[in-house]
């Protein structure tokens, strides 16, 4: 059996439509991720608890947001609207 080289494979892939290329990449990424996971030995319970504790400590170091997710989305929307439309919105309100 003649094994194709990378250049030959790339030539074939370039003939595929973009959506099929995306599907191929996604499948290859998943296959590689699965291989990496299977190569890692499972954690012992004490290792898992230590990893969990490190994760919790690192999460404490992340600053808490000033706004809730909804408030942040609304602020972003207003900013984007102000950038696109200027100070006047469609409703005629002035955004101070």
33 touches 26 (CB < 8 A):
no
Q: Record the tokens describing residue 4, joined without a space.
A: 């194709």
**For the segment 11-51, what is each residue's pLDDT rounded down to a tens digit?**
999 999 999 999 999 999 999 888 877 777 888 999 999 99
Domain ranges of the chain: 1-63
- Look up the pTM and report it: 0.36
> In whole angstroms, what is the distance from residue 47 CA to residue 79 CA?
46
**For the segment 46-93, what is each residue's pLDDT rounded down to a tens digit?**
999 999 999 999 888 877 767 788 888 998 999 898 888 876 655 555
Q: Is 15 exposed, middle or buried (0-12, 13-18, 19+ CB in 10 A)?
A: exposed
């Amino acid at each position: 059996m003649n094994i194709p080289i990378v250049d030959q494979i790339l030539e074939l892939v370039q003939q595929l439509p973009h959506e099929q290329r995306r599907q191929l990449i996604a499948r290859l990424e998943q296959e590689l991720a699965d291989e990496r996971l299977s190569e890692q030995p499972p954690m012992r319970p004490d290792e898992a608890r230590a990893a969990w504790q490190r994760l919790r400590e690192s999460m404490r170091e992340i600053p808490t947001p000033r706004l809730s997710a909804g408030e942040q989305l609304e602020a972003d929307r207003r900013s984007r609207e102000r950038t696109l439309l200027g100070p006047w919105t469609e409703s005629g309100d002035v955004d101070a």
